[in-house]
């Protein structure tokens, strides 16, 4: 039995997130159908993360066990031939039989994109958050610096019922601005449900004066979701890179 490590990219606009559901179209279901056709066997793929409805991925990893002898290059070409235009196989390689895309992941990197302008961008309506104010990246950097390191991020989690601990480590947060586009990059060992979107929403509140950068330590210590900012909309969020 072979174990294939596959990297894909997708635009999440038309899907109800990654995980297969009974009553909605998801990335996992769409990819599994294409992979099953190419491998000529019914398979289940193991994804590295559960992205939400409307969230995108520049780099997403899954692994799949198969008895097929298809070369990786033919797998890539074949599966891409069955996938819709908003999902693409980027690479395929042989992996150790025990490799698991989720459990072997050491770190993840997300980016959040904002279009900061009074005028909307018709070419990015589902790819960037339209924010109608100027965004002070220096103020946001001051606030985000308090989030770097190992903390209990319970205040930045929509629900902690399915996790054993809300402690996570953020390795880095960078914020860059290019004309009207602001990109917030967050790298960490793992993330709680809606954690990145709540971080972004909190930085937006800092930008609007509803919170100050120096409020962030108290928000962390409170371990109370109500103390942090709003949950930013999903369509600005991208899983950018996974580390093994």
Active site residues: 52
Report how far apart, in Å, the C-alpha atoms of 80 and of each of 25, 58, 90, 96, 194 are: 18, 16, 9, 24, 30
**Distance (Å, rounded) from C-alpha 13 to C-alpha 87?**
11
**Distance (Å, rounded) from C-alpha 65 to C-alpha 28?**
15
What are the structural domains, with CATH classification, of the chain?
Answer: 2-94 (3.30.70.580), 107-243 (3.30.70.660)
Whether this model's pTM surpasses 0.85: yes
- What is the chain's pLDDT, residue by residue, as a tens digit (244 residues)? 999 999 999 999 999 999 999 899 999 999 999 999 999 999 999 999 999 999 999 999 999 999 999 999 999 999 999 999 999 999 999 999 999 999 999 999 999 999 999 999 999 999 999 999 999 999 999 999 999 999 999 999 997 667 899 999 999 999 999 999 999 999 999 999 999 999 999 999 999 999 999 999 999 999 999 999 999 999 999 999 999 9
C-alpha triplet 156, 177, 51: angle, nearest 5°: 40
**Distance (Å, rounded) from C-alpha 213 to C-alpha 59?**
31
């Amino acid at each position: 039995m072979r174990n294939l490590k596959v990297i894909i990219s997708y635009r999440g606009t038309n899907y109800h997130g990654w995980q297969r559901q009974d009553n909605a179209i998801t990335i996992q279901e769409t990819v599994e159908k294409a992979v099953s056709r190419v491998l000529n066997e019914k398979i289940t793929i193991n994804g590295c993360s559960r992205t939400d409805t409307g969230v995108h991925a520049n780099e997403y990893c899954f692994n799949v066990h198969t008895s097929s002898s298809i070369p990786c290059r033919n797998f890539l070409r074949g599966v891409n031939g069955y996938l819709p235009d908003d999902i693409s196989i980027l690479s395929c390689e042989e992996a150790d039989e025990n490799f698991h895309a989720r459990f072997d992941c050491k770190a993840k990197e997300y980016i959040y994109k904002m279009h900061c302008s009074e005028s909307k961008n018709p070419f990015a309506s589902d790819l960037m958050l339209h924010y109608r104010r100027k965004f002070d990246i220096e103020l946001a950097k001051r606030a985000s610096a308090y989030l770097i390191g190992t903390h209990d991020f319970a205040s930045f989690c929509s629900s902690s019922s399915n996790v054993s601990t809300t402690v996570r480590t953020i390795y880095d947060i960078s914020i860059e601005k290019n004309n009207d586009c602001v990109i917030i990059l967050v790298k960490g060992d793992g993330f709680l449900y809606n954690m990145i979107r709540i971080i972004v929403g909190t930085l937006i509140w800092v930008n609007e004066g509803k919170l100050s950068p120096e409020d962030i330590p108290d928000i962390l210590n409170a371990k109370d979701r109500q103390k942090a900012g709003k949950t930013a909309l999903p369509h600005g969020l991208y899983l950018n890179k996974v580390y093994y």
